Structure 1
Amino acid sequence: MEEEQSYEAILERMLDKVPADIDKRENSVIWNALAPAAAELAMSYIWMNQIPTLAFADTAEGEYLERRTAEFGTNRKKATAAVRRGLFYGENETAFDIPIGSRFFIDDLHYMATERLSAGQYSLTCEELGTKGNDPNGAILSLNTIPGLEQAIMTDIIAAGEEEESDESLRSRHYQMVNEPAFGGNISDYRHKINAITGVGGTKVFPVWNGGGSVKCVFIGANFLKPDNALVASIQEEIDPEVNQGQGLGVAPIGHVVTIEGVEETSIEIETSLTLENGVSIRSVEDNIKEICDQYMHDLRQMWENESNLVVRTSQIEARILNVSGVLDVADTLINGQSANIEITAVNIPMLEEVILNESTP
């Protein structure tokens, strides 16, 4: 089809319809008149060929995927701003209150004081959306003149900033909505409702976990890490507020007592022995090995929602390490001191704590 409607094919068909006694050679009057039209028609066919691709959820991208999934009630999660804790001190390191709306900067990022948490402690909301606002820590500088302020420090994350949801994540949630009908507080209903909340990367639902009418929902953050307490509390309030639980004051059905929790972390320590190429040292490969081990943990966390229990496998670790340049062999791999695979409980995720590398003699 595409070959039949190419620029060359269209132009040739147009010239074939011109009488033979007229000069049709390249750069003749008739050729110069028809060539631009043939080019525009070819472009039209190219766009027409894109219509089926953009019309169906399995191949649509960007705006067209959003429009398709929105027809079924699944909307793309927007990027959010990081909210950080700021500590402010006056003379003699005493807690110091600042005006709401005061602006600060660190590492080319700007933050605004949006809420007073306690004496000298404020929520600082990043003015740029996305995950970059989660990173900086330490001393921050004021963009306003605040008499009496001696020191300002940014510390922990109150609410992690998130990037706009990717096409693949949106597509996955759309298929989940279509293929697992949600109704009246069934498992799919809870998964759809919680997964649609910004900051959520996946949910496991445990019905009747504490007797009839009880439901526990455990979720992982959109960054596939343990979510912060503020997000857990916010989702609890939206689904089934702790005050008068089970009375239908949230989106949970009347009679369902719902407990919302975030995933817990299981620390993973990896120890292994390496046989290295001549001239290669442990120091030269350790950063790459730590990076791929950390990526393996991340890959497992991405699978968390759809796996009953995650398993950290020695074979996977060794196979990935063998791909590191300079490594000839891997042996005696231990995970948390054991030579066997480690199975993670259903509500936990693996977090790499340490990688210990020993060198073997070739």
Structure 2
Amino acid sequence: MDEDKVSELLDQLLSYIDPSYDKSEGYLIHDMLKSVAIVLLEQKGDLEGIKRLLDVDNLTGALLEAFVKQRKGITRTPATYSSGMLQVTGNGTVNVGDLFETPSGVQFAAAETKMITGSGTLQVKSVMSGPVGNVPADQITQMPVTLPGITAVTNPKPTDGGYAAETDDSLRERYYIAVRTPPTSANIYHYLQWAKEVSGVGGAKVFPVERGDNTVEVIIIDQEKQPAAPVLVDQVQKHIDPGSTGLGEGEAPIGAKCYVLSADPLILDISVSVTMAGGYTQDEVQENIRDSISVYLKSIAFQLNYVSFAHIGQAILDSVGVEDYAGLLVNGAIDNPQVGAKQVAVLGAVTLV
């Protein structure tokens, strides 16, 4: 109990009591009103808590989900499962649900039943949702349970399509878009809303009449602020206007042909000389620089039409293990790289010279 706040509230209550009464401590009026002050202070705290819950910026998790759903009908996009194709060798049958995994234990389940004679392909889906299921090529090589007749498996191409559930910040941003730039009658903000309703979309831009009358282009990036994978582009396309037909079979109205595309990558190759702090290897410092620059590039994706050369330098200087740097070049120059309207900046090679 905050005694100072109790005393302040008690003094306020006593000020309304006629001076003819003894309000000294130990007397009835003083002691009774002190009890009232304690109760009122507790209620004031409860009211302050309720007031904070009315501000969307103070909400997280389930409270944020309830707030935006009740007011705008917006729901958090769920995590998705990665998928891909396996090359299976042997003579036997693989059934739906049979498991395969990477050496690190990331598991995939067969999405179809298929008889394999010699070799064949098999559709699989990750057991766990989220980015953990996005694995490089030739990593799904093990079978936790022996499958009769099946001798070997691998994934010739990376698996993709696994995205985390929407973050609180992203959900709150979509709420503000709905409040400040109301989507209506298939305006620009409606297409923006439709694109961001798909799990995995981390940003979108809308280009009206880009291919002529009654056409719209929607350019998207993924949650990592990278060019969107074909599977994500396809999901957004199906959600808004399947096949770009304008038949009104998705969210877009009849007659409006929508074309969904991934942003093109603007690859940034970094060359820099650094003074390293003691106790760090060049590989560690190089990786820390990559991480630091990547954080900056994510923060400006679809926000700025250039990459700040100065901010790249600051990101390098802020990297763990870097004491100083010199000779920074971004794509061989010391200028701010310009980012096209349909591009997103992507970190390429980081070379320490």
Distance 1:40 1:129 in 2: 48
State yes or no: 1:103 paired with 2:99: yes
Residue number in structure 1 paired with 2:19: none
SS of residue paired to 1:124? strand
Residue number in structure 2 paired with 1:333: 328
Residue number in structure 2 paired with 1:112: 109
SS of residue paired to 1:69? helix
Query: Would the alpha carbon gap of residues 50 and 3 (structure 1) be closer, same or farther in structure 2, given more than 3 Å must change?
Result: farther
**Shift in Å at residue 143 of structure 1?**
3.8
Query: Would the alpha carbon gap of residues 319 and 238 (structure 1) be closer, same or farther in structure 2, given more than 3 Å must change?
Result: closer
Give structure 2 stretches of 5+ with no counterpart: 14-22
SS of residue paired to 1:53? helix
Residue 63 of structure 2 aligns with an amino acid whose one-letter code is Y
Residue 151 of structure 1 aligns with an amino acid whose one-letter code is A
- Residues 173-210 of structure 1, C-alpha deviation per residue, up to 9 Å, x if partnerless? 10001110111111001001111111211110000111
Residue 86 of structure 2 aligns with an amino acid whose one-letter code is G
SS of residue paired to 2:206? strand
Distance 2:318 2:232 in 1: 38
Matches for 1:277-292 after TM superposition, within 5 Å: 282=282, 285-292=285-292
Residue number in structure 1 paired with 2:17: none
**Shift in Å at residue 323 of structure 1?**
2.9
Residue 210 of structure 2 aligns with an amino acid whose one-letter code is W
Residue number in structure 1 paired with 2:55: 56
Residue 113 of structure 1 aligns with an amino acid whose one-letter code is A
State yes or no: 1:66 paired with 2:61: no
SS of residue paired to 2:82? strand
Query: Would the alpha carbon gap of residues 139 and 66 (structure 1) be closer, same or farther in structure 2, given more than 3 Å must change?
Result: closer
State yes or no: 1:224 paired with 2:225: yes
Distance 1:101 1:327 in 2: 48
Distance 2:120 2:232 in 1: 23
Identity of matched residues, % = 27
**Shift in Å at residue 120 of structure 1?**
2.4
Residue pair 1:292, 1:321 contacting (<8 A) in 2 also: yes
Residue 319 of structure 1 aligns with an amino acid whose one-letter code is Q
CA RMSD of aligned residues (A): 3.7
Residue pair 1:81, 1:128 contacting (<8 A) in 2 also: yes
Residue number in structure 2 paired with 1:170: 171
Distance 1:159 1:116 in 2: 21
Residue number in structure 2 paired with 1:129: 129
Give structure 1 stretches of 5+ with no counterpart: 25-34
- Residues 282-330 of structure 1, C-alpha deviation per residue, up to 9 Å, x if partnerless? 55633322332233333333xx1x44x2x22221122222234664543
SS of residue paired to 2:57? coil
Residue number in structure 2 paired with 1:201: 202
Residue pair 2:136, 2:159 contacting (<8 A) in 1 also: no
